[in-house]
Structures are given as structure tokens and as C-alpha cells.
Amino acid sequence: MATLPRAAAAAAPSPAAALLPLPRAAPLLAGRAAARSAARRLRARGTRAPPLAAARRGWGGVSPRAVLDLPRRREAAEKPAQKAADLNEILSERGACGVGFVANLKNEPSFNIVRDALVALGCMEHRGGCGADNDSGDGSGLMSGIPWDLFNDWAKKQGLAPLDRTNTGVGMVFLPQDENSMEEAKAVVAKVFTDEGLEVLGWRTVPFNVSVVGRYAKETMPNIQQIFVKVAKEDNADDIERELYICRKLIERATKSASWADELYFCSLSSRTIVYKGMLRSEILGQFYLDLQNELYKSPFAIYHRRYSTNTSPRWPLAQPMRLLGHNGEINTIQGNLNWMRSREATLQSPVWRGREHEIRPFGDPKASDSANLDSTAELLLRSGRSPAEAMMILVPEAYKNHPTLSIKYPEVIDFYDYYKGQMEAWDGPALLLFSDGRTVGACLDRNGLRPARYWRTSDDFVYVASEVGVIPMDESKVVMKGRLGPGMMITVDLQTGQVLENTEVKKSVASANPYGSWLQQSTRSIKPVNFQSSVAMDNETVLRHQQAFGYSSEDVQMVIETMASQGKEPTFCMGDDIPLAVLSQKPHMLFDYFKQRFAQVTNPAIDPLREGLVMSLEVNIGKRRNILEVGPENADQVTLSSPVLNEGELESLLNDSKLKPKVLSTYFDIRKGLDGSLDKAIKVLCDEADAAVRNGSQLLVLSDRSEALEPTRPAIPILLAVGAIHQHLIQNGLRMSASIVADTAQCFSTHQFACLIGYGASAICPYLALETCRQWRLSNKTVNLMRNGKMPTVTIEQAQRNFIKAVKSGLLKILSKMGISLLSSYCGAQIFEIYGLGQEVVDLAFCGSVSKIGGLTLDELGRETLSFWVKAFSEDTAKRLENFGFIQSRPGGEYHANNPEMSKLLHKAVREKSDNAYTVYQQHLASRPVNVLRDLLELKSDRAPIPIGKVEPATSIVERFCTGGMSLGAISRETHEAIAIAMNRIGGKSNSGEGDVEDGYSPTLPHLKGLQNGDTATSHDGGTGASPISSIKHAGGPWELGLSETHQTLIQNGLRERVVLRVDGGFRSGLDVLMAAAMGADEYGFGSVAMIATGCVMARICHTNNCPVGVASQREELRARFPGVPGDLVNYFLFVAEEVRATLAQLGFEKLDDIIGRTDILKAKHVSLAKTQHIDLKYLLSSAGLPKWSSSQIRSQDVHSNGPVLDETILADPDISDAIENEKEVSKTFQIYNVDRAVCGRVAGVIAKKYGDTGFAGQLNITFTGSAGQSFGCFLTPGMNIRLVGEANDYVGKGMAGGELVVVPVEKTGFVPEDAAIVFVRGKTGERFAVRNSLGQAVVEGTGDHCCEYMTGGCVVVLGKVGRNVAAGMTGGLAYILDEDDTLVPKVNKEIVKMQRVNAPAGQMQLKGLIEAYVEKTGSEKGATILREWEAYLPLFWQLVPPSEEDSPEACAEFERVLAKQATTVQSAK
């Protein structure tokens, strides 16, 4: 066995080494700044980079721009107990990145392909993340075919025979750092291969240049070697890949218990592909791996990837590409996907595995990233005989429902998706996926299209896909095809045949392989809607008793259920939740209240369920999910539900389905022998019953708390506990895929409760008591009278129930959309919640894998809380009406609310009288309150001696750290915004009021606002009021103490704390809150509700009604006139808080806030007796990861980081342009632009607007750019800016335009028809959401993606070509004209608001023709010119989309003159 000595790896490249032939235009370690400055120097000199021939001296640190500046020149291609997934582990690894591929259609390996991929990767650096050392990337990598010439050259030098390309597998292996551990690992690896009958040919140490690696990456850098094995026992190429896959799985098993197990990782093990990757920045990858500089490294394709991890701890193995995929995005349903994959392990079988399925388990790893797990599932499908395209269609299906094109032209594709919908839950979330098995290369996009992807093909048979255009220098005359991947679309390149298949071609070929449609017809049933009951099932007293027993309050019935029944939508309330966490409360809570919904991260956009609901679905399949590795009609043997919310009749239909063999399990526990242990025992019995039922063939378990009569000693098990426990039990026993769980329960009535049950495993819910409550409400005398008197809309008893279910369904869509999830089937079992207040015993039993950081209730304590509801139904003195717990509205005797009328009165007295004594009384009120938040369980203690208060930093310094929370313009009145903004300006704090719209100069005359002083500034506003759904107010987000501690400690651990100012807000009311937050790591402190209280709010809690009695949260003029606040009141409040901070610091012995920030050692747990449990664990809050190297003041005062030199600076530095701006002249200039130039013109527009306002500039800047523009090109343009781009652009062209003109045209002499290309804006097609929220702009384009004109409020859009789905959703103003040449537009338009009509009004015809004429003049569009030449033929093919606000406009109203005359007559007669 030949092995290279390790020393070779560290050697720097020798001068004789064959290096990548590119210009050396920047220093060796050039980063982003060097890239920009290199291009800037070239621009300044007015020169281009040296040609390729003159610059073959090495890859070095070539800057992206220097490479892109080259003229394009391509040389010819050269010749078994299972465990649920743990959210803690999953959350630590998410990513969003830049990706792409290059492929040769003739399958000819070439070094140029590798070079191009590295060039493109270098231009993706801005899409990646970087460590605290500025040098360790989140990860970058390259997948290619195996470079046999390179490896044979190595083999020859080692005295080995040439490698057999058909039977040799190559493994790229990360090995342990420690030499002894590395040798151990290599020995185990070699033994597994040998035991499997494979011959180990040798190990090769991969040569690299360690000097380019960042410090953090170097600390964790593995030993990197390649292993070569001969697979002699298999001849079939697929069997060889399968054998290598089995070997890798066996190696993972064999090393599982080794101390170095986590350090051994196969980047790839294949006879076709190899992956070079690492914790490196993109421009470093080619310098680090010397193989990638060697001209012997040839491949017919290359996939490249730059990782942006949305957490802060990247690792070498998590760089991408993975073994099959390069993934830009996030899988939001990952915990559910992992649980379901674990559940499948017992049932997955295929003849291709020859009975060895048990050796390739497990199929997922919670410690790996979401991308790695998606990759491993795709790889399993691939190795089991599926094609890459089919695997992607199964895992990441498009939004195929209500899809006009698919339903008309490709019904077999819909059948394919419908078939697999019941087999595999979608891996849901924003995703651009590139994939290759060495024979096919392809790319696909998620159903929402939330990641950009462009592709193009050249006449010399190359295909490119990339996250951005402009990443590779391109000879445009050779480009024969351009396109973009829209939502759910796919493109594949077959390297063996040279075929390029676009979207529907790929899908049709996959879907036609089996008769999915006939299988569905044969086996799949759907539950038909069943009428709602038209009479009550219980008398009033029985209903009341049930409501009491199951934990309902009068608020739940009146504010939630009855509102939903009458209005068909979720109830809203004023924002802010100020009651104690359920675990801290002295009142009993339902189990659901211990769960908080998680929502989408920064890089992960939420979905708009209102206007983009076409990508969402609440459908769910019931029944056994069989072996997904085999296809056949039996897999379709399931029941389809259109939604998870069932009425009693629909549940009955399910129970009558004999194929499902339903089993009803009663969910009660017996307390006759005592409470302790009873709940635990009942859950175990329930799980055993479920287990037995499933083993006996039941495919449907119905967990029911329905009973003929309630018994005092048999309380109901919390239904969420029962569902979760059975779900987990079946997963652990390999039975979960065999049956569905349905809850028939009285305990579910709010959207959050439905979401919890589904999130922990229920497929459907019948909320029988909520429906009975709807019926009882409708038949009550009170409701009947209100309807009779016209004080409430009339609804029937059936309509009331239908409304309730409608509200639940829309609420569920909102909850899914907050997390960026489209499909309820993927949300099922995904556990997208955090738990606050349940102990590990409860979590392990029913919610395994969910995070519960502070511990809490035991099972017995939970049983006791359940019983406290139950006994209310049987007490002698049972009230004749439901109790009001006061969870929503504050009331005497109800739950404690931190913002209460007494508190607001005391605060008003203190700030208005500027009275220290009154503030002390306010402090005492806060100190004597019940335990409300986690920090109430802590106190401040110091071993230092107190110091005189005179030595403590002044209040004026402390208040500069104060901020007000984000309050939108419409949530509170103009007077409140202005008072808050002025107060914050006076104290030097920060105001986020009015979404940051605080003006910089003096305020205008403000007669309506009292207490103004010189230097005050103000905000402007308009809008509605502060309302939010009750379920969102109560059940989303978590305590800031935990979020702050996690953020501070994670940043410290990763060396990033000095980079970030940490600001925290939420329920701040006193100096003590500030000190607690400081000790946990916060630098700045936000005050929200209390700032409004200080300015006059009396906590009437009717903000959502626009009826605020003191004009704080109302837009009504007469109420705003009552506003009592002045800025001085808020200033007084903040000074009181600051003085409280000073006094406490003196008592603790510290001179300034800086001294305690991050000092968790001064926090001590209080001895507090809680009503529910003594098992709260505060270790998480009290732990310390160390202190920052800088003080908080140094962190806050550091210079804001720059983006390095940017193109706008070059433009503004041009003397002609600066003269034109200064003296309002006209100037014309041309600049080169690259994809790394982002938001170009934004700063230029800012300079003009700052000097002249939005419309005051009388000069004119005519600026032409040539090349590929980066994101947000032409953003924020102002009048007087005429911008022209000759080339192409990336996302968000013209974002936030306030005026000016923006024209984008392709370069001359293209090899394709521009009108067919994905050039954003004007002469070409645009992507998704074109003209979203357009309010004034006029645009002409030649095609758009989905959601065109969404939320448009004004302006005019003309589309001279095809559009995607969902046109004009939410469009309330402006007009759109769309050319419909093939009669396909009608089903694509969202007609909720707009109406479609032909262009009949003369003024509309003139508007349309005038815009096209101007367009042709600016762009030279051939399509536009043809339309104008044949105007009479084309005009009837245009549709005009008209919202109600434009119906009577001259452009939309054909009889405008007659309407105008009629109106005039009416006015005249009225006189």
C-alpha cells in the first residue's frame, strides 16, 4: 500500500507546479476589499486587465473583478431503537449560500471547467459568511468528476499500476488531527474495505497550502487524505456506487464509539465524483488545494458552493457541496423530516440492497446540517435506483395544485406529485438545489422561488447555472439560451447524451415512468365534506360542565370561539403579552400554553398566506405509509383530507373506513389510588394499547376524550401529552409509518392548539366541544336577539361552525407561513416550538427533541394542574358560568398583568410631578408584584463594598444606552410618535418609533404638541392601529432573558462579541430590569409599552379598536386631541430609571455599567416559592462563556464597518459628476459594472436627495453601465437620474425608485433572442414579484415570473409576453396591460380584487401605445416594434387589469365621457 509522507501536504506550491493560468491582479490573500480595490484601480487607469496569454503565472489571489474584466476566451475542451431528532442539535446548523455549476455537453473533461468554477466561486464571496478572524469562511467547495489523469500521474510516481476507471472508488477523507488517532481511523477504514472484499490500492495525502487558512479554520483543520479502492466483485456501475455507499455506512458504524468518531468524515466516496471542500472563503479554495491548480485536474462538470451558515459555528464537514447536492437555503421542517426518516427505517426495503438494508441505517443525523440530511435522503433514493431528478421531485415538490400549465398539458406530473404526497413529506423551505451523480447535473428551486437561479448555454456546448449572473466572463455572441429557474422549476444536463432538459421535459419523463394516475384512482379515497350538525348535542349545563373540566375560560368562549364563529377569522387584540409565563403563573394553564411558536430566521423569508396562498396547502393523507423504495398501487392506499380540521360527521366517515381498521383509544387517567404516578401509568398503558393496535393492522388511531358522562376520578389526559407520547412511542418502535393519529378532543379551540397537536404528530383534529360551543352560542337568546336587531351579521347554526373551521384553517396557514413552511403535511411532526416550563421527564416522554431550557413541571405536577381544571366541573359550589382567568384582559381577581392601571397611575404621578418619592412608590409597586418573568427569580449580589453614588457614571451617560421599541407608524398616534422621538433626541438615546422615520433637522411648527424645545425633532405618520391575532400575541416568541444569554454567550465563544452591540427589549419597566439585562450581556436597553405609558397611556387595552381614550394609540382626530403627553414626561422617566441604575451600581460597588455587562456572577437565584413547581433550572441564565475583550462603551463607540470601496464612491469621485450634482448640470458618463457591485446608484441618489430633496434637483445624470450588475441595481433613484445598463442584472432592480429613469438592454450581437432571456427588467423577462408594491412607477417588460403586480397601489405596468401565476394579488391601484397571445392569461390572474377587461377606453389605448413607443425608442426592442407595426392586430390581444379604485378612470372606463357628464348632471340637479 503506497502512502505519501504527510510533510508533502504542508509544502507551498513549487515554481514548477502547473498552476491555474489566470492574471495575478491582486495580492496573494486578496479578500473582498482587495477585489474591489483592484477593479477600482483598473477603472481609475481606464485600462482593462492584461489578456490571458500574458498572465499565466498562477491562481494566487485573483480578485473576482480582475477575472471578470477579462474578454471571454474559451479554449476547446481537451480530450435499532430509534431516537427523535433533537432541536438543539438541529438549530446549530442552518445555511444560505451561493451556488452554481459548469458542465460540458460533450462530457469532455477539461481543466478550464474547474478554472471557471473557481472564478465563479470567487464572485460568490459576498454570499458567504466569515469567522471572527476575517479569514475562516463558513465553507466553500467544489464537486467534479474524478480527475483520473491527476491520480494516474500520482499512481505512476508511487509505482502503482494505472487506475481502472470503471472499478476504482476514490474517497476524499477528513481524518482526525492527532497522528495516532488518524492511524487508528485509517486502520478501521481499511479493515472495513478489506472485509467487504475491496482491495485498498493506497492512501494519498492531499497537497495543500496551509498558509492561506484562517486561524479558526486552522485550529479545527483535519488531516486530509484520499483513499483508492478497487471494487472487483461488481461490474455494474450503479452496483459499484452502492457497494461504496454500504462501505461508508459500515465505516460510520464501526467508528461510532471511537473518541475520534466525529473527526472522521468522507466528503465523497465514489467511482464517479469527488468533492474538495473546507472551512474556507471562496477565493481561498483554489489556493488551498494544490490539486485544483494542476492542469491535470480535468472534469466534464463542476458544482461550486459558498456557504453562509445562519449560526456562528461552521465546521469543515459541513462545507458544501455534499456528496450529491449543493444547497442554498434552509429546510424549515428538518426536525419532522428527520423523525419521519427515522420512522421509515423499519420499512425501507429494495431488491437492489440484497437484504443489507439494516447495514445502511440510520438515514439521518440531527448533529449534521439540514443540507447534509437532505443530501443523505436524496442519496438513499439515488442508490436505491431513483434518478437524481426523481429524487428531487419527491423531496422538494413544486406547488402543483391549481397550476394551469400542469393541469392542462402535464396531468401525469400532477399524478406523480399526488402519489408521493402521501409517501414523503416535503423538505420544505427556501432552497436552490444543485445536484449530480456524475452522469447527470441539474438544478431545482423550491415551490416559492425564494432563492435566485439563472442558467445559460453557449454555442460551444457549455451549460452554466448560478445564483447570480455575471460570475463568469462570457462572450455574449456565443450564448444561445438564457433562462431563470422560477418557483418549483428544474433543469438537468445529461452528460452522457448531451441533452439539456428544461423543467416540464424533465418532469414529464420522470412522471411517465409509472401509471401513477390509475394507481391513485384505484386506491386513494377522499373524505367528502359532511354537513355540520344543525342542533345541539348537549344541554347548556352539560356544555358548561365540559368547558369547565377541559380548561375553558369565559375569555376563550367569548373572545375566541364566538368571534371565530361569527366572523370567520381569528380574533385580534392589542399587541403585547404581559402576563406571567404559564410555569410562573398562580393560575392553572392548559398544556398548550407552555409552548411558543418559533418563526423564520433572518435569511429565511416568511410566506404571505393571504396573497401567495397558491403555494400553500392544508391537505393531509391518512393511513399507512408503505415502503417508499418500491412503487406500486398499494402505496396509494390512503385517505386524503382537504384540511386537518374535521367535524363530527367527517370523523365518523373516517371511523367507517374499513381499510383503515380504526382504533379509538380513550384518553383518561384514573386517580382513585392517588394522583402521584397516575398520569405516567395511564400514558404507558395508552402507548401499549396504541402499539398493539398498530401491530394488529390498525392504520388509524383516534385518541378521544369524548365520554358519555364525566367522572370526578377519571380526568382527561392533556390531549397534547397523549398525542406526543404515542407519536414518540411509535417512532421508537419502528411503527410510526403504519398508522396516522387523529385527536377527537374537547381540549382544542384556538389555532395555536391545533398547531401544537399537528406539530407533535396528529394528522387531524375533531374539536367536538368547540363545535358544540359554536352551536350553543348561535342558539342562545342573546345571539338570536343581536342578529334580529341587526347588531350582528346573521349566520345559521351550520354557518357558525363553518366560520369557526374557516378561521382555524386561515390561522394555521399564518402559523405555517411565519416559519416559511408551505405544507401542513410537512409541519406535521416537525415540532417547531420551544418549551418554557416543562421538565425533562415530560419532554422525553412526549416531546422528545424539543428544547426546554429552564426545566419545569414533572408529570405529577402536570397531572395536578390538569386536575385543578377537572374538579371545577364537580364542585358543590360550581359556578353557573365560566370563570374569567383574565389571561387576555386585565380584571380584578384575574391573572396578574404587569402593565396595569395602578402601575400606570403611579408612573404618571412620578413623571408629571418629577417626584423622587412618587418614583420610589412606583418601584415598590414593581418590587411587590407576583413573579412575572424569569428575571424575577434572580437578584443582584456583589462581594464588593458599596461606593458613594458620586463615583458612579452620571445619568446623562446611562440614558444614552436607552432606546424605544419598534412601533409602526400606524400603531400609535402621530402625537405619541413625536413625543417619544423628541424625548429620545433630548437624552441622546435612540428612537425606533415610526419605523425609524425621525427627521434630522428641527421640527416644523407643531401646534398640536406641547412642551417643545429648540433642537427637538419629530416623526411623520399615517396608518392603522396596533392589532395582532390573539394566538400570535400569546404564543409566539420567548423570554428575552434566554435569547439574550444565548446570543451573548455564542458570540463570546466564537470571538465575535466585540463586533456587535446587543440591544434587548421586552417588558422593561425599571432600573432593575436594565441591570439584569446588563449582567446577561446587553449593551443597550429598549423600552416599549412603558414609554407609551409615560407619555399618557392609561392601559385601557383597546389599541386594536382605534378607540384609545387618550389618543395614544388611535388615528381618530377627536381622540388624538386628548393626548396628554409631553416629551419631558418621558425624559423624566428615563432619568429616574438611570438614577435607579446608579444607586444600585453604587450599592454593588461598581462605578459604571461597563463594569457589570456580561457579569453573570453577580446574578444569584432567589429563594422563591412557585405555585406549580420547584424544578425551574436557571443554570442557562447564570452560566458564563467569559467576557468580551473590549468594554461595552468601546464596542458601542467603534466605527461602523464599511463595505470597502464601492462603485458609487468611484462615480461620486468623478469630477464631472460631482460638478453636475453641485451645480445642477447635465452630464453623461459610462462605467463598467460587475456582479459584486451591489446597490449601485443608491448612494448617488442619497447625495442628491440630501441636497435637493426628492424632487428639487434640476440637473441630469445620464449614466450608462456595461456588464453584469449586482443586486439592487438602480435602487432609490431620484428625479434627474437617467440610468442605462447594457448587459444584465440580478435581483431587485429599481428597488425603492422615487423617480428618474431606468433602462436595461442586452449587449449587441447576442447569440439568443433577448426577449427569451432572464434579463431583469425592460428588454427581457423579469423574475418573481415584479412591481410588488409599485406605487408610482411605469414599467414595460417582456415577461414576468409569478406574483407580478402584487400589492401594487399605483403606476402602470405593461407586459409584452408571458407571465407566471397569481398576477395582481392584492393589487389595489394602478393599471396593468398584459399581452396574451396564446390565451393562457385568464387562469393566472388573481381575481379577488381586480377585474379583467380588454383595452376599450381610448385613453387606455393611448396610454398603452405611448408606453410601448417610449419603450421601443429606449431599448430598440424588436417585440415592441412588431406590436406597434401591427397595432390593430395586437391591441385586441391585450388584457387590462383594473382594481376598483381605477374603474372610473379615463384609461379604464370606455364610457368615461358619459359617466363624467352624468356626474355633472347629478351635481347640477343637487344644487
Positions annotated as catalytic residues are 97
Any residues with CB less than 8 A from the CB of 401 and at least 6 apart, and which?
Answer: 614, 617
Contact present, 682 and 726 (Cβ < 8 Å): no
Please give the grid coordinates belonging to residue 14: 513549487
Please give the grid coordinates belonging to residue 474: 462570457
The torsion of the CA quartet 1438, 1443, 1447, 1450, rounded to 10 degrees, works out to -60
Contact present, 1175 and 937 (Cβ < 8 Å): no
First to last CA, the chain: 106
Please give the grid coordinates belonging to residue 1226: 447635465
Q: What is d(CA 888, CA 884) in angstroms, rounded to the nearest whole number?
A: 9
Contact present, 527 and 654 (Cβ < 8 Å): yes
Contact present, 1398 and 1380 (Cβ < 8 Å): no
CA within 13 Å, CB half, 579 = 22
Q: What is d(CA 447, CA 470) in angstroms, rounded to the nearest whole number?
A: 25
Judging by beta carbons within 10 Å of its beta carbon (0-12, 13-18, 19+), is residue 1277 exposed, middle or buried?
buried
**DSSP SS3 for 244:** helix
Contact present, 1023 and 994 (Cβ < 8 Å): no
Spell out the SS3 assignment of 561-621.
HHHHHHHCCCCEEECCCCCCCCCCCCCCCCHHHHEEECCCCCCCCCCCCCCCHHHCECCEE
Of residues 402, 824, 405, the one with CA closest to residue 642:
824
Phi, psi dihedral angles at 381 (to 5 degrees): -60, -40
Residue 19 neighbours by CB distance under 10 Å: 22
Q: What is d(CA 1282, CA 41) in angstroms, rounded to the nearest whole number?
A: 26
Q: What is d(CA 43, CA 49) in angstroms, rounded to the nearest whole number?
A: 10
List 1084's β-bridge partners, or say none.
Answer: 1063
Of residues 471, 121, 470, the one with CA closest to residue 1268:
470
Element (H, E) at 787: helix 781-788
Q: What is d(CA 931, CA 1240) in angstroms, rounded to the nearest whole number?
A: 53
- Runs of H (alpha helix) within 457-561: 504-511, 516-523, 540-549, 554-555
Residue 1424 neighbours by CB distance under 10 Å: 24
Taken in order 360, 364, 366, 370, the sign of the CA dihedral is: positive
Q: What is d(CA 1422, CA 1434) in angstroms, rounded to the nearest whole number?
A: 14
What does DSSP assign to residue 1315? G
Of residues 913, 1174, 920, 902, the one with CA closest to residue 1070:
920
Please give the grid coordinates belonging to residue 596: 411558543
Q: What is d(CA 792, CA 534) in angstroms, rounded to the nearest whole number?
A: 20
DSSP 41-82: HHHHHT--PPPGGGGTT--TT--HHHHHTSPP-PPPPP----
Of residues 1054, 1092, 1050, the one with CA closest to residue 574:
1092
DSSP 795-849: --HHHHHHHHHHHHHHHHHHHHHHTT--BHHHHTT---EEESEE-HHHHHHHSTT
